[in-house]
Amino acid sequence: MHHLPPNAIYFLAPLVLVIIAIWFIPAARIVHRTGYSAWWVLLAFVPFGNIIGLWILAFARWPALDGKSH
């Protein structure tokens, strides 16, 4: 079994943070445009929370569309 060297965290931690930011920032902007809080994106990190959040956003009324013609 391969083990990571002890100093691998100095490379992996920033890499993971960059990957999360690359995904989180555009997803938060999309959710914000629907009229919901961008914090809804955090459901993606909860097991099955991402699926539930997706279904809620797909079938709920979007506050951003209230008062606009569909």
Cα separations in angstroms, 1 against 4, 11, 70: 10, 21, 57
> In total, how many domains does the chain have?
1
Structural domain including 32 reads: 7-63
Judge if pTM exceeds 0.85: no
Confidence band for 66, pLDDT divided at 50, 70 and 90: confident
Would 69 be classed as within a structural domain? no
Which two structure tokens, joined as six digits, stand for 3?
């083990």
pLDDT of residue 70: 52
Rounded to the nearest angstrom, the gap between the alpha carbon of residue 40 and the centroid of all alpha carbons in its chain is 7
Single-letter code of the amino acid located at 43: L
pLDDT of residue 11: 84
Rounded to an integer, the average pLDDT of 2-26 is 87
Would 49 be classed as within a structural domain? yes
pLDDT of residue 44: 84
Rounded to an integer, the average pLDDT of 29-49 is 88
Residue 20 in this model has a pLDDT that exceeds 80: yes
Would 68 be classed as within a structural domain? no
